[in-house]
């Protein structure tokens, strides 16, 4: 098979190569600390990759180990010593709340000889959930729903999450003290700021309650009076950089979007064509990101810049979706539908957009692929691409065309993966 004969398979193989490069068993072992000489080792964590990280840790650990991690429903793997609890994402549920309370119980009463290994990845913000004292769990759920449909960036969302929590924003590390805490993270955050990954439960927080209020105001999120009062008076403020209680702790990002894109670049080169990475940390609305990619494709086709075709444009990061309609979709299928519309009448262009965790939004798909004939095939099946985009119904659009990419949970997460093959 060559990329000329089967562009669809080429794109899917490229995506799976990128995902494999950031899997826990590939990226975690070099960062695993040695066991403490005399103390206990407790493992805690949360995220879509947490179960796979826990298994990899067990497979590479000598000596006694125990603990609990929380992962999304369907993302568990069998483990021997570290318990795995499944809970809801992206809206927290009672299972996540109960497991979070158990994690806090596990780290009580530790001493300076003990070691806590914290395994965090994307999705951890929703899975590791404990409302700040003075607000209800239902209030936390309602604010989460509003933020997730507002079009807010992940940095803004996690700023709010930290200040509505009794475990995020460094508070878990304080609960572990005086034990040493080593945090190992798979990053889904554009820019890879450690304190934003899973809302930084073991890291000091540079953001403030005031900033959280600003975010809520900017996106017109209604909040109850009791929540507003606590944010205004600073009673929910997080521990800050320089706090001596974090001294002696370590944190390491073991995998990130850049690693996935480098693997994709190598895959493309092995096919004898040119890779060109736009960015590993793009943010913005799906529509704006689709237009940006379409403009670059047009430059390549017309002017052979910034590279000469054939070639592949690669990008990562996290697009945002403003929910306007009642349809079903995720940010990757919505990006791809916008791209297909923008690329209409451009021949020889093929694209894939998928979430590296294997789940795009709330669907059963990682994302989708599109081709030069995507819109013409859609019209033959009675689909109006622009109407589907307006109604946030991108899943249905690509499902009817049989162009969804189904991988099921990959048990890692470095966010969006986009690749456009210009095959001319």
Output Rg (C-alpha) for the chain, integer angstroms.
Answer: 22
Question: Tokens in use for 399?
Answer: 């499902």
CATH number at residue 45: 3.40.50.10180
> Are residues 283 and 401 both part of a single domain?
yes
Answer whether residue 229 is part of any domain.
no
Name the residue range of residue 35's domain. Answer: 23-130+165-204+239-255
346/395 same-domain check: yes
- Exposed, middle or buried by CB within 10 Å (0-12, 13-18, 19+), for 309? middle
Give how many domains the chain has, as a whole number. Answer: 2
Q: Which pLDDT tens digit goes with each residue over 93-152?
A: 999 999 999 999 999 999 999 999 999 999 999 999 999 999 999 999 999 999 998 889
Output the DSSP codes for 236-300.
Answer: TPPP-TT-GGGTT-EEEEEE-HHHHHHHHHHHHHHTTSEEEEEEEEEEEEHHHHHHHHHHHHHHH
Summarised one tens digit per residue, pLDDT across range 12-39 is 999 999 999 999 999 999 999 999 999 9
* Region label for 16, one of left (φ > 0), alpha (ψ between -120 and 50) or beta (otherwise): alpha
* 69 and 191 inside one domain: yes
CA distance 334 to 206: 33
Domain check: are 312 and 181 in the same one?
Answer: no
| 276 bridge partner residues | 313
Q: Which two tokens stand for residue 289?
A: 């990101």
- Asked if the peptide bond before residue 418 counts as cis, ω within 30 degrees of 0, the response is no
Contact 403, 368 (CB under 8 A): yes
Tell me how crowded residue 232 is: count the other CB atoms within 10 A of its CB. Answer: 12
Return the structure tokens found at 380. 């033959």
Do both 55 and 13 map to the same domain? no
Q: What is the pLDDT along the chain (424 residues), one digit of tens a residue?
A: 355 689 999 999 999 999 999 999 999 999 999 999 999 999 999 999 999 999 999 999 999 999 999 999 999 999 999 999 999 999 999 999 999 999 999 999 999 999 999 999 999 999 999 999 999 999 999 999 999 988 899 999 999 999 999 999 999 999 999 999 999 999 999 999 999 999 999 999 999 999 999 999 999 999 999 999 999 999 999 999 999 999 999 999 999 999 999 999 999 999 999 999 999 999 999 999 999 999 999 999 999 999 988 999 999 999 988 788 899 999 999 999 999 999 987 899 999 999 999 999 888 999 999 999 999 999 999 999 999 999 999 999 999 999 999 999 999 999 999 999 999 8
Residue 235 to residues 211, 231, 238, Cα–Cα distance (Å): 14, 7, 9
* Dihedral pair phi/psi, residue 11, rounded to 5°: -65, -40
The answer as to whether 324 is a domain residue is yes
What is the spatial distance between Cα 417 and Cα 415, in angstroms, rounded to a whole number? 7
Q: How many other C-beta atoms are found inside a 10 Å radius of the C-beta of residue 14?
A: 25
Same domain? 285 vs 199: no
188 and 305 belong to one structural domain: no
Asked whether residue 303 falls in the same domain as residue 365, the answer is: yes
């Amino acid at each position: 098979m060559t990329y000329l004969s089967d562009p669809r398979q080429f794109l899917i193989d490229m995506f799976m190569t990128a995902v494999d490069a950031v899997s826990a068993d590939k990226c975690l072992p070099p960062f695993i600390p040695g066991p403490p000489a005399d103390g206990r080792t407790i493992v805690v964590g949360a995220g879509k990759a947490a179960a796979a990280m826990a298994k990899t840790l067990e497979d590479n650990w000598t000596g006694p180990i125990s603990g609990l991690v929380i992962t999304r429903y369907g993302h568990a793997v069998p483990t021997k010593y570290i318990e795995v609890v499944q809970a809801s994402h992206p809206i927290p549920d009672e299972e996540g709340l109960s497991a979070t309370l158990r994690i806090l119980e596990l780290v009580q009463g530790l001493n300076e000889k003990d070691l806590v290994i914290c395994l965090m990845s994307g999705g951890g913000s929703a899975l590791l959930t404990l409302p700040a004292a003075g607000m209800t769990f239902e209030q936390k759920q309602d604010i989460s729903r509003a933020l997730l449909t507002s079009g807010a960036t992940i940095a803004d969302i996690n700023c709010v999450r930290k200040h509505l929590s009794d475990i995020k924003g460094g508070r878990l590390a304080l609960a572990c003290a005086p034990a040493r805490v080593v945090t190992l993270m798979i990053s889904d955050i554009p820019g890879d700021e450690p304190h934003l990954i899973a809302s930084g439960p073991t890291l000091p927080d540079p953001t403030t309650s005031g900033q959280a209020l600003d975010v809520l105001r900017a996106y017109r999120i209604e909040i109850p009076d009791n929540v507003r009062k606590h944010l205004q008076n600073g009673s929910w403020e997080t521990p800050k950089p320089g706090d001596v209680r974090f001294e002696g702790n370590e944190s390491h990002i073991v995998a990130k979007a850049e690693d996935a894109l480098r693997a994709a670049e190598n895959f493309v080169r092995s096919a004898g064509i040119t890779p060109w990475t736009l960015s590993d940390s793009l943010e913005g609305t799906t529509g704006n990101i689709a237009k940006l990619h379409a403009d670059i494709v047009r430059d390549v086709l017309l002017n052979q810049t910034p590279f000469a075709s054939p070639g592949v444009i690669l990008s990562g990061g996290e697009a945002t979706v403003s929910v306007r309609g009642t349809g079903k979709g995720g940010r990757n299928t919505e990006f791809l539908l916008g791209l297909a519309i923008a690329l209409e009448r451009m021949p020889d262009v093929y694209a894939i957009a998928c979430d590296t965790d294997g789940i795009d939004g709330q669907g059963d798909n990682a994302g989708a692929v599109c081709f030069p004939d995507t819109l013409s095939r859609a019209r033959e099946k009675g689909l109006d691409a622009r109407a589907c985009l307006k109604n946030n119904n991108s899943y249905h659009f690509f499902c009817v065309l049989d162009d969804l990419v189904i991988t099921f949970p990959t048990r890692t997460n470095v966010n969006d993966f986009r690749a456009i093959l210009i095959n001319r």
